[in-house]
Amino acid sequence: MSMPSLARAIAAAVLAVCALAPSGASAQNFERPVRLIVPFAPGGTSDILARLISPKLSAAIGQSVVVENKPGAAGNLGADAVAKAQPDGHTLLLMDVGSLATAPSLFSDLTFDVQKDLAPISMVMFGPYVLAVHESVPAKTSKELIEYAKANPNKLTVANSGVGGANHITAVVMAKELGIQWKNVPYKGGAAASRAVVSGESGVIINGAAATMPFVTNKQLVGLAVTGEQRIASAPDLPTFKEAGLPGGDAGTWQGILTTGGTPPAMVARLNAEIRKILELPEVQQKIAEQGGVVRAQSPEEFRNWLKDATTRWGTIIREAGIKGS
């Protein structure tokens, strides 16, 4: 074989091998718009974060990032859509991952495996819960609320973002430990739950500060207390649960981003890197802080371990409290 023929043969062989084995670079590229699914109605904490992050992620990856609200079944409907998507990193899930941690213990008909069918990318933030009431509820402090609840069993209704959500379970545990009775009413997300209390349809809410504090600030709800270790900057007069003598002070909304299980590790790593860069931006940190939140970026492995531990911990709480899903 002549030298030119040999060279052509070698080049053809190299091209054939490259075609069979995708490069690390191509495994990290985005070839079409990305869907960022929020499994709750617009206006809640997850939705607020998604619309804060999506334009910056779009600029970073060179593709549109479209926020899609898909509420239903306490977040499980949207999570299922991501779990069953093509495993290439083009379908993302942003939600309160406490709901993912509770789902296996609550729903016997869960259509996806949280650990196997979803790939953690990064935690985004921790936000405290706000305990607030409609102005018609005769309580201006947590103590007055508990006294009223004890004197009026099952008269108060507590709005939540869906059966099995961490805020629902927090309300159940509070009632059990405080010796009170109130009715829990599920809605399609924290925003819908907040609006229900603003309208007077429900009387009490325990919900993420990002979605709830604007109503407190605008005097549409009466704020009573916040979870977390310290008071939040946007409401320095509200005591912490611990200061108010309430149980559940470590509860709150943990927001994270996941994709479909089986997505190539290189793509997960790329998404993790881009999201963590976004979370380091001063304007993003300021916006999250204004809502009472704290940035909690993690590696995919750290996030996976958190989710596994939280699933075990919430499972114990659910069984001990006798909470039923479906």
Cβ neighbourhood burial of 266 (10 Å; 0-12, 13-18, 19+): middle
Place of tokens 């604007």: 214
* pLDDT tens sequence across 213-268: 989 999 999 999 999 888 988 789 999 999 999 998 888 999 999 999 999 999 99
The separation between CA 156 and the C-alpha centre of its own chain, rounded to angstroms, equals 27
Q: What is the DSSP string of 290-316?
A: HTT-EE----HHHHHHHHHHHHHHHHH
* pLDDT tens sequence across 3-51: 455 555 544 444 444 444 444 434 578 999 999 999 998 988 899 999 9
Note whether 183 and 172 are within 8 A (CB).
no
* pLDDT tens sequence across 104-125: 998 888 999 999 999 999 999 9
* pLDDT tens sequence across 18-31: 444 444 434 578 99
Full-model pTM: 0.83
pLDDT tops 50 at residue 279: yes
* pLDDT tens sequence across 145-198: 999 999 999 999 999 988 878 889 899 989 999 999 999 999 988 888 999 999
